[in-house]
Amino acid sequence: MKILFLDQSGKPGGAELCLIDIAKPYRQDCLVGLFADGSFKTLLEENQIPVKVLTRKEIEVRKKSSVVQGLRSLGQILPLILTVAKIAREYDLIYANTQKALAIGSLASFLSNRPLVYHLHDILSPEHFSETNRRIAIALANKFVSLVIANSQASKDAFIDAGGKSEIVKIVYNGFEPAKYKVEKSEVNHIRQELELDGKFVVGHFSRLAPWKGQHILIEAIANFPDNVIAILVGDALFGEQEYVSKLHKQVRDLGLENRVKFLGFRDDIPQLMTACDLVSHTSTSPEPFGRVIVEAMLCQKPVVAAKAGGAIELIDHEVNGFLTTPENTQELTQIINKCLKNPEQIASIAKTARQNATERFDVININQQITQHIKSIMGL
C-alpha cells in the first residue's frame, strides 16, 4: 500500500516523532510531504523515509485563528492543495498527521479521489484551539475522513464532544521501541559526569518550553528543597514561545536557583538523559493528549510523576506504575518528589512495574499492526 503522509511542521514535536515510527514500515512505498523545512526533514532522511518539502510559505493559521484569518489563508493554500492532489494520485491513501495537514489533505483527497486518514494528536478543546479551528477541523473530518486515529481516549472524547462522528474514530496509542530505552550504565555515568549531576537528586522535565507544558511548576517545587535536589529542563521553544523562556529564566534567577535548574535545550539523547534522572516530571497545565515523555520515562524504568488529566490518566495508575498530581498543584508535586527522595526502594519497584506495563502496551510493532489493520479495513483489504 502506497501512503502519502502529510505534516505541517518542520520541527520534531511529539506528533512528528510518532509519524517517523508509523512511516518506517512503509518507507519503500511512501512519501512524507511537509509544509515547512527544518530538522524534522533531516530526521526523516536519517530514517531513510522519503520526504519532500511541499511549500516553504508559512500557512498563517494559528491554533487561535478567527474566520477572517482562516478565509485569508485559503487563497494562500490553494496552490498547495493542487500540488498535494497531484502527488496523491500516485498513492493509495492520504494520511494527515496534523490539523493543517487535515485541511489541505481533505480538499486534496476530494480532488484526487483518495481516502483520507487523520491522525488526531490533539485534544480539540477550547483550552487548546479556537472555536473556528475546532469547527473547521470537525467539519472537514466528518465530511472527508474515512478513519480518525485518536492518540488516546481523551483525544477521542474531545473530538466527539466537539461534534466529530464517533463511528470513524479508533484509538491507537503511540508506539515505542523498548530496546531504545535500555541504556548502558557507562552512558549514564558519562552524562551524569558531563552535566555535574553526581551526588544530586535529579528531576527531569522533557518537553518543549511552552506555558502549558508547565515547566514553571517544577521550578517552583524545586525551590522547596535543599541544594542537592536539582532539575534539568530538556527541550526548546519549538513554536516561538520566547516570552515564556524569558519568564522561566527570570523565575530561576528570582528564586536563586541558577545552579539547580539546568536548561539543556532540544536534545536527541532522551533515553540517556532520562536514565540519568532520579525522577521524571510532567507538569502540563492543560490536559495532555497523550504524553510521549511519560511512556518514555516508564520504558527507561524511571519513576514518573504526571499531571492528572487527559492521556496521562490512561498511562499511569497512581502509586502502581507512577504518580499523578493535580495539575498546577506545586504542593502535591513537592510531596511526590519528597516521597521519591525518601523511599528509593518503593519507587524502584514502581519504576520496574512501569517498564513492564509500558513494554506490553506500547511496543511499536503491535501499535503499527493496529494502524495497518485499521487502514486495511477502510480500504476493504
The closest alpha carbon to 158, from 286, 15, 9, 12, belongs to: 286
For ligand UDP (CB under 6 A), the number of binding residues is 18
**Closest distance between ligand UDP and the C-beta of residue 178, in Å?**
14
* Contact with ligand UDP (CB under 6 A) among 235, 287, 310, 327: 235
Environment class of residue 174 by beta-carbon count within 10 Å: exposed (0-12), middle (13-18) or buried (19+)? buried
> Does position 105 bind ligand UDP by CB under 6 A?
no
When the beta carbons of 109 and 241 are compared against ligand UDP, the nearer one is 241
Which one among 62, 267, 352, 376 touches ligand UDP, defined by CB under 6 A? 267
120, 234, 248, 350: residue in contact with ligand UDP (rule CB under 6 A): 234
CB nearer ligand UDP, residue 244 or residue 266: 266
Closest to ligand UDP by CB, 85 or 324: 324
Q: Contact with ligand UDP (CB under 6 A): which of 290, 298, 312, 358?
A: 290
**Per-residue x/- track, 8-27, ligand UDP (CB under 6 A):** -----xxx-x----------
- 164: contact with ligand UDP by CB under 6 A: no
Per the listing, cell 519528597 goes with 338
110 lies in the site for ligand UDP, by CB under 6 A: no
| Cβ-proximal residues to 138 (8 Å cutoff; 6+ apart), any chain | 124, 159, 162, 163, 164
CB of 179 to ligand UDP, least distance (A): 16
User: Which residues 203-222 are close enough to bind ligand UDP by CB under 6 A?
Assistant: 206-208
Q: What is the C-alpha to C-alpha distance for residues 351 and 300, in angstroms, rounded to an integer?
A: 8
Our CB check for ligand UDP shows the closer of 54 and 312 to be: 312
332 binds ligand UDP per the rule CB under 6 A: no
Q: Which is nearer to ligand UDP, 41 or 292 (CB)?
A: 292
| Residue whose CB is less far from ligand UDP, 115 or 311 | 311
Near ligand UDP by CB under 6 A: residue from 219, 293, 300, 333: 293
Helix axes 14-23, 39-46, angle to 10 degrees: 30
Residues in touch with ligand UDP (CB under 6 A): 13-15, 17, 206-208, 234-235, 266-268, 270, 290-293, 296
